[in-house]
Amino acid sequence: MKVIKITAVWCSACLIMNKRWKEIEKDYDVETISYDLDFDEDEVKEYEVGEKLPVFIFLDGDKEIGRLIGEKSLEEIKKYIEELN
């Protein structure tokens, strides 16, 4: 599954989630494309990021099938991915 990860360098929740996401990448077959909210403005524009970071957008091909927003526990992320599968 392809996942667009949108974070910012100044965001503590992003820092926390980066670490958890590395665990996810070990256990699941995910291809992560990382964008920085400030440095990759053009790429991020099309994803309509709301008020809260980080944002994980799950894609089936090019179609968005789910979105995780903000800080989530490792268990919550796993549960969400398994429900999508």
Partner 1 sequence: MVYLDYSATTPVDERVIESYAKACRDFVGNPNSLHKIGVEARLVIEASTRQIADLLGVKSSEIIYTSGASESNNTAIKGICLKYQNRGKRIITTELEHSSVIAPLNYLTKQGFDVDFVKLDDKGRVDLDDLERLMGDDVVLVTISSVNSEVGIKQPMKEISQIVRKYKKCFLHSDMTQSIGKEKVDLSLVDLASLSGQKFFGMKGIGALIKKENIVIEPLIHGGKSTTIYRSGTPMLPLIVSLAKAIRLAYDDFAEKQNHIEKIHNHLINELKQLDVDINSNEYSINHIVNFSLRGIKSETMLHALEEDEVYISTQTACSTGDYSLAVYAVTKDEKRSASSMRVSISYLTTLEEIDLFIDSLSKNIKKLGELK
Quote the CA–CA distance of 85 and 79 in Å, as a whole number.
10
Nearer to partner 1, 1 or 8 (CB): 8
Stretch that binds partner 1, among 16-24, 27-35, 60-68, 77-85 (CB under 8 A): 16-24
Smallest distance from partner 1 to CB 18, Å? 7
> What residues contact residue 73 under an 8 Å CB cut-off, 6+ apart?
20
Quote the CA–CA distance of 14 and 67 in Å, as a whole number.
15
Residues near partner 1 (CB under 8 A): 8-16, 18-19, 37, 49-53, 70-71
